[in-house]
Amino acid sequence: MNILSNTSECWAFQQSTIGKKIGFVPTMGNLHAGHASLIERSKQENDIAVVSIYVNPTQFNQQSDFQHYPRTLEQDKALLESLKVDYLLLPDEQTMYPDNYQVQLLETEISRELEGEYRPGHLGGMLTVVLKLLNLVRPTHAYFGEKDYQQLLLVKKMVQALLLPIQIIGCETLRAEDGLALSSRNSRLTDAQRKQATIFPELLRQNISVKLITENLIRQGFKVDYISEKWGRRLGAVWLGEIRLIDNVPV
């Protein structure tokens, strides 16, 4: 597996892969089976598989969440090697933000609600870093999980609006046997919280109103940011202690 760590190496990579189908999976590390499923699809559909690991500070609206985000780089590298990934993009903050985040990408409609309302600045930071990563890799195809459904919609909208020749592919959410959507933040749940967390996707799937789901979640000890039906999905964000979980299911 080759490692790209700065812009010069990325430009050389782009020159050496002209005419190839390049599949790209951007991640923040702490990789799990959900990431692996995206990578495997990328490998199947492209000539070259690229994965990035970068814990992006600009999309954390709480500093404590950024500091506690699980970082497991050596373990992640071993997984990527086993999946036979061709290139790992591993940039540092100076590479990603030489301007100290003075230039930012802003979307003015979808990003005002749900995650945008409850995590100010998060979606702008996400779009900015995704655009930078796409520019460093110049993939033909990029793969995103549907668990972050609002993010997926925004990335698709950005690529279309900015005329980027990249196909954005949404992949179905991978779940644990207990039904909880796979997420790096799950590793921070205690055993008791993990058991409690399964109530969240169970309620999202039930044929009851958003109001009833919200009331049931509160009764079960969750703090609810939102439960909403939009874009043909039922989406939710809840807290268990200091851990925030998001999920969505088709309506």
Name the nearest CA neighbour of 133 among 160, 116, 158, 170. Answer: 158
| 151 within 8 A of 145, measured Cβ to Cβ | no
**Which residue bears the tokens 């749900």?**
114
Active site residue 35: yes
| 52 within 8 A of 91, measured Cβ to Cβ | yes
Q: Tally the C-alpha atoms within 13 A of residue 99's C-alpha that lie toward its C-beta.
A: 8
- Of 35, 68, 122, 141, the active-site residue reads 35
| 235 within 8 A of 228, measured Cβ to Cβ | yes
Distance in angstroms (rounded) separating the CA atoms of residues 138 and 85:
16
| Catalytic (active-site) positions | 35
